[in-house]
Amino acid sequence: EAEVAQSPRYKITEKSQAVAFWCDPISGHATLYWYRQILGQGPELLVQFQDESVVDDSQLPKDRFSAERLKGVDSTLKIQPAELGDSAMYLCASSLGPGAQGKLFFGEGSRLTVL
């Protein structure tokens, strides 16, 4: 069964350092999402791509976070500099597109700990 691949699974970093997460969506899925899940809470959307274009980044803290999906396939989420409050699970998800409303396939996530 096709899966959304994410790496690294775990990342420990010190505050003010840079960190990057990578995601490879399910083949053929045009839409890619980055969600952040703080421990004990539901995921929250950070950024949504349709192919290589950003559809929604209204909740992305743009002073320190950036995301790209250059060729419309895999994607990278970067945080620079990391802050203590960024400790969370970063989930990548993909879907077929507008016809698959709300039907997202999530990866296993990248757990970030900022010391």
Partner 1 sequence: QQQVKQSPQSLIVQKGGISIINCAYENTAFDYFPWYQQFPGKGPALLIAIRPDVSEKKEGRFTISFNKSAKQFSLHIMDSQPGDSATYFCAANAGGTSYGKLTFGQGTILTVHP
Q: Which is nearer to partner 1, 8 or 16 (CB)?
A: 8
Q: Is residue 100 close enough to count as binding partner 1 by CB under 8 A? A: yes
Residue number, 49 or 82, with CB nearest to partner 1: 49
Query: Using CB under 8 A, which residues numbered 9 to 48 contact partner 1?
Result: 31, 33, 40-45, 48
C-alpha torsion 43→45→49→54, nearest 10: -160
Q: What is the dihedral of CA 112, 115, 20, 30, to 10 degrees?
A: 30
**Of the listed pieces 14-22, 63-71, 72-80, 97-105, which binds partner 1 according to CB under 8 A?**
97-105
Q: How many residues does the chain have?
A: 115
